[in-house]
Every structure is written in structure tokens, then in C-alpha cells.
Structure 1
């Protein structure tokens, strides 16, 4: 009888734990929902079929401006713009509760995992790009008082057609105490400056035997203050040098740690593939490599990883980084967006690079496959 009681208790505990770990962004469809669902869209206000907006060069267009409490559950864009690399020139920003600096700021393509400035189809649990040029986000974005989303055209040509649908719900009660806010931040290094160009391949002893125990000169995905949890990153790489770009280890520094709190074993390992991804593209709900270029100068790759199985919490600060090559010997270009939730206020973001500097361009860094000279 005692054994049966213990078994039942363990079973109940397991079920409770499973429910606690269930994705909180998915409403329980077996229970009557009490929110009111809304949509902000580019629908033609006259009832015609001109369901888009034009955005002039230098102009900012507000696609959502609403009071809370509420949650943005889905964002969809598609864009008709003839300017090359318009995905890098159009900037998405999101502001919570009347703040003056955005909690989300990124070129619109990078936010949706298109960090090379061109379109490709891919899918994950939180972000996807479908046929044709359909940009989707399912990150839950709660707000207590107010939400505002803007699109800024930093290009030289008009956005001919900006289509959007933003699904959000207003809640009948205040959000739970301690609710964290969604954040996303763009960073780039064009190029990451490797410490040497005197190498022939990734196995050259000069670089292969070098130690990097403290993350000095790592590429930084995120450097945030406050308390919250990191939930993932999308990253794109334009190789300036030959050979495999992904010998770098991920390193996370939690709450001011001087040495990594979490250390990985290689770039493809962090993104949950193996062995250079086998040269084969893939997309899964929480990880993938939907674009893989040749391992040569000029090769282009895009990868992603989400931590919804176990977000990485921090109580004071977090610095999320990755080496560019083993011990940072390579000088490739990286473009990334980190995604996390935290309590407001957030620390100021680094300034976005000027629009022309966001366009992926090979850099003269020297080394294998690059005749640009030494540095």
C-alpha cells in the first residue's frame, strides 16, 4: 500500500512538472479563452484591394499602437521593394509601455533570420519564412500598458508595398506579477578581426593549440543588464577566408562571471548539428542550419538555436558570445539577432551600424582564400 502511494505521488509530481514546462505561449484550447483577439493590418480602409502601405525613404510607419494589458501573439510581413538588400535597410522596432528606446531593434530581415539580406525559406517554432517572402514571428510579446511597433525605411527607394497582419489580444485582467518582456537585439562584425592571418587550415598548430579560457575578443550576441532569460539567436556568416568557419565555442557569462558559466564545443555543436553540419541544410523547431555555403571565401551560411526547452536565466546580467574560429583566429563577417525576455528597464542597445555598413560585403582580411593582405 505504501509503495502504491509513493508511485501515485511520483506520478502526480511528474504530471505537474510536465505541465509546468509546457510552452506558455500556446493557449490551452480545451479551456474557454477570456481574451479579446484583435488584428492590426494593412487592409485597405476604403474596402478596396489596395491592402498595403507605401513607405518613403527616411520615413517611419507605425504598424501597431495599442493599449494593454495584452499580448502580441503573431506578426506577419511581406514586402515588395525593388532596392537590393532592402531586408537590411528596413528597420523593425518595438516599444513597450511608452519607453523612449526600443526593446526590439533590428533590420527586418535579420529579425526573421535572414541575416544575409536575401530571402530563403526556413521554419522553426518561433520564426519562419514561407513561400513567397512571408515573414512570421510567433514569439509571445506581453505588455502591461502599451505596445508600439514601427517600420523605418532607411533605404534610398520607396517601399512599394508593405503588407502586415499583427495578431494581438487584450486581457480582461492585469498581467501576472513578474511578467517579463520580449527583447531582440541586432549585432554584427564586418569583419570579426582574427588575431592572425598566418594559417593554412584550422588544424595549423599556431591556432589549434591556442587557448581562450576567458572569452576575450569573442563575437558578442548579447550583453544585457537586469534579470530575465536568454531564449536564442539567429546568426548568419559571410566567410572572408577558406575552410570551415565553425570551430568557435559558445561561451555564456552569467551575472558578471569572469570565466564562462557555460562553454560549448564548437559552433555547429551549439546549433545542435555536428561535423560541419555534413554540408546539408536543415530546419527543426528549435535549431537548424537552413543555409550552408561552400567552405570557401564568399561562402554564406545561416543558423539558429532556441532555448525554449531551458531558457538561460540571469539575475544581474548576461553576456552571450561565440568564438570566430578556434580562439578567434578567423576574420569572417557575422550578423546576428539575440532574443530574450527581461524585466524593464533594459540597458541601452549598441547603435545600429549605418545602413551601408550593414550590407554583407567581403572584407580584405588576408589568410586562406583572401588576397586582401595582412592586418
Structure 2
């Protein structure tokens, strides 16, 4: 019965894809692959070295070197990026930087650590597949996000590690076309990290970006602070501020695991549009993602996406953490008689003898990073440049 249901869902999904773009339709678009065997994706010029017998499948990237994966003029759509590297250590995956430039811009639309861009938080690569990324056996990196360009596209990888990378393989698959829809948007990606968030200040998964566009989703990495022990970290709500929003957002969730479709805590799971690839309270590392594909989020003027840094624990455990001098701020308590807001009215203090015995939610401070994916109506986004490699690899 279960296998029949899965087969039925797969059939529905395949039918949906065919409805969008039938496989039998002919097109005048020109398929091209950029690889080390044909770096310029030139017509009839692939695999010319070593008498065509696999003469240039890979190259090293020396420390400090920039390697160009794609540099093409004209109109087209990047459809797939595949690559693999010989050193897949967490530090190397954070030290390699991938940048993408559209239409001759000098500012990258995409600038992120290589591993994080491909959905690998904390440098922990594993077999997985979702709607946008995959690593079939935990040894490679695949991206199938469509990336239109009108005048040209350039993709580079920079080795910002202190050591050489011996083996780097790749191909960038794209189509050259003569037309694009007038409303075709440019793909963007922004990565940021805060080693220790500010108490009672939400973490910006995507700082404010201006223009018209679509928020595609986010991959979040979290390292919980040791002073909170194994208390639950994920009570924070995701908030998405659209267009004219001021202090209060239009879109708000109910908790971290709720945002990715789970509930009552969080374990490892990998699904098409949502998942948690790391859930380890021993190493204090967590990673989760959500892609807004079936539930698109468009914006006409601007967008900002945040997550509250809020956790929860039993009353007596929270009392002990405060006694031990740990940084936290109680905000509410759920108990057998209801729910008490601690930031409104005149509630009892946590150390009061009549404070309810229940689940206490509290602001805390953590090490957060986020890779946000979005489309925009222009090839530049005006966001801060990618943090330096020292900041990226700290603690890895």
C-alpha cells in the first residue's frame, strides 16, 4: 500500500512537470556545457586534448587562486551545476567561495561558501536530494536552480584556504536562447553568520533586499551555545517582512521546526521542499531548510527574513541557568492552566514562589548562519559582501 502511494505521488509529480514543459516539445535553444574539456562551451571544440581520450577532466585550485567555471556572452539560462572536489573537509568547503555575475555586473549576485551554497551546513556532506540540490552519494554537489541572464554570465570559484585543492571537477549546463520572458528574474544568493547573536534580537536570515522578486527559501545552520545544555533551541518564529511592513511582519510562523513542516522537536529528515539534514544535540549542531516552491513568496518593493533566537526548558532548569549567570531572558510560560505572557502586564518574576511550574520560553544567544536564495528584478542586490574566510571557518 505504501509503495503504491509513493508511486502515485511520483506519477503526479512527473505529470506536473510535463504539464509545465512537455518533454516532446522542440526548441531552438542551444544546449552548452562548460567544463575543463571545453571551458568556453565552444561549438565543436569539446574534448580535444590527449587525442580526445579524457585529457582534461580536472584542475587543481591553488591557495588564493580564482578559477572561472563559466564566462559566456549572450542570453540564456544556467540550468544545472555539478562539481566535486578531492578535499571535502568542513574547513575547505567553507574556504572555497562561489560567485556568480549576471549581465556584465562587477558585483556578484551570488557569493557564498561552496558547501553552504549547495545546502551543506557546517561542512557535513552526506547523501541527500531535495527540490534544488543533491549529493547522490555524499561526494558531489548538484544544483538545478534555473538562472536566467540577458547579456552574459560568469561563475567563479576562489580557493581562500591556506592550502591548495588538488582536484576540482565541474560542469555548468546552460541553454543559449534568443528570448526570455519580460518578467524573468535574476537568481541571487546571500550567506551570513553571527557567531553570537544579540540577546532578544532576531537573526537576519536575509537582510533587507530592495526591488521586485521572489524569496525562494533558506538553508540554516545552528551551533547551540554550551551553557544552555540540551535545552530546546527552536521556539523562535520565522518572520518575513514584505514591502511596506514596518515593526511587524506580514508573514510569521509558530516555531523553527514548524517552519520546516515538523513539530514537537526536530529530528533528521530530508524531503523535497523541507528538511533537517543535521540534528545532533551532542555536537550541538543543527541544519534545516525550506524552499518556497509550492507556496511562493513574492515581493514588490523589499523583503527581509528573520528567525527569533528563542528556546525553552522547564521552569527549574531555567532558574538554574539564570543562577549560573547564563545569558537569557524569559518571555512566556506554558503550564497546566494556560499560557502566561511575561513581557506584558505584571506577571510574577521567574524566582517568585507563585511562578507557574511549566515550560518557559526564553531569548538566548547562539551561533547562526544562513544561506538565503531569492530572485530579483536586477543583477545586483546591494547586500554586504561575503564575510572573510577566517570568520567563515571559525570553530570548524
Q: TM-score range by the shorter chain?
A: 0.7 to 0.9
Residues 116-159 of structure 1, C-alpha deviations (whole Å, 9 max, x = no match): 02322221011112214210001000111100000011001111
Q: 1:25 to 1:111 in 2, by over 3 A?
A: farther
Are 2:113 and 1:107 aligned?
yes
2:373 aligns with one of 328, 339, 342 = 339
- 1:74-153 → structure 2 map (5 Å cutoff): 74-81=80-87, 85-153=91-159
Asked if the contact 2:103–2:379 (Cα under 8 Å) also holds between the matched residues in 1, the reply is: no
For residues 310 and 339 of structure 1, what CA distance do their matches in structure 2 show? 15
Cα distance change, pair 147–60 in 1 and its aligned pair in 2 (3 A) = same
Equivalent pair of 1:221/1:321 in contact (CA under 8 Å): yes
- Please report how far the alpha carbon of residue 322 of structure 1 lies from its aligned counterpart in structure 2 after TM superposition: 0.7
1:84 to 1:340, Cα distance in 2 relative to 1, 3 A = closer
Contact preservation (8 Å) 1:226, 1:346: no
SS in 1 for 2:121: coil
Could you tell me which runs of 5 or more consecutive residues in structure 2 were left unpaired when the two chains were aligned: 1-11, 38-46, 312-330, 332-361
Q: Which residue of 1 aligns with 2:163?
A: 157
CA-CA distance at 1:345 after TM superposition: 4.6
Instruction: Normalising by structure 1, report the TM-score.
Output: 0.80
Q: RMSD over aligned Cα, in angstroms? A: 2.4
* Kept in 2: contact 1:92–1:108 (CA 8 A): yes
Contact 2:112–2:190, Cα closer than 8 Å, also in 1: yes
d(CA) in 2 for partners of 1:76 and 1:273? 30
Measured at CA, do residues 347 and 26 of structure 1 come closer, stay the same or move farther in structure 2, by a change above 3 Å?
Answer: same
Count of aligned pairs between the two proteins: 318
**Residue 41 of structure 1: how far off its partner (Å):** 1.2
Kept in 1: contact 2:109–2:381 (CA 8 A): no
Q: How is 1:1-375 mapped onto 2 (pairs within 5 angstroms)?
A: 27-43=21-37, 46-47=49-50, 48-81=54-87, 85-171=91-177, 173-195=178-200, 217-222=201-206, 223-240=208-225, 241-242=228-229, 243-258=231-246, 259-277=248-266, 280-294=267-281, 298-325=283-310, 329-361=363-395
Distance of aligned partners of 1:255 and 1:109 in 2 relative to their CA distance in 1, 3 Å threshold = same
Deviation at 1:23, TM superposition (A): 6.3
> Please, which runs of 5 or more residues in structure 1 have no aligned partner?
1-17, 196-216, 363-375
Q: Give the 3-state SS of the residue equivalent to 1:192 in structure 2.
A: coil
Alpha-carbon deviation of 1:310?
2.3
**Does 44-53 or 336-345 show the bigger shift?**
44-53
- Runs ≥4 residues deviating over 2 A: 22-28, 42-45, 47-50, 81-84
Alpha carbons of 1:137 and 1:345: their partners in 2 closer, same or farther (altered >3 Å)?
Answer: closer
Alpha carbons of 1:26 and 1:106: their partners in 2 closer, same or farther (altered >3 Å)? farther
- For residues 233 and 138 of structure 1, the distance between their equivalents in structure 2, rounded to whole angstroms, comes to 15
Conserved 8 A contact 1:83-1:155: no
Residues 343 and 186 of structure 1, relative CA distance in 2, 3 Å threshold: same
Q: CA deviation at 1:40?
A: 0.7
| Larger gyration radius, structure 1 or structure 2 | 2
Q: Secondary structure at the match of 2:83?
A: strand
Distance (Å, rounded) in 1 between the aligned partners of 2:391 and 2:150: 36
Report the equivalent of 1:9.
none
CA contact (8 A) 1:121 1:130 kept: yes
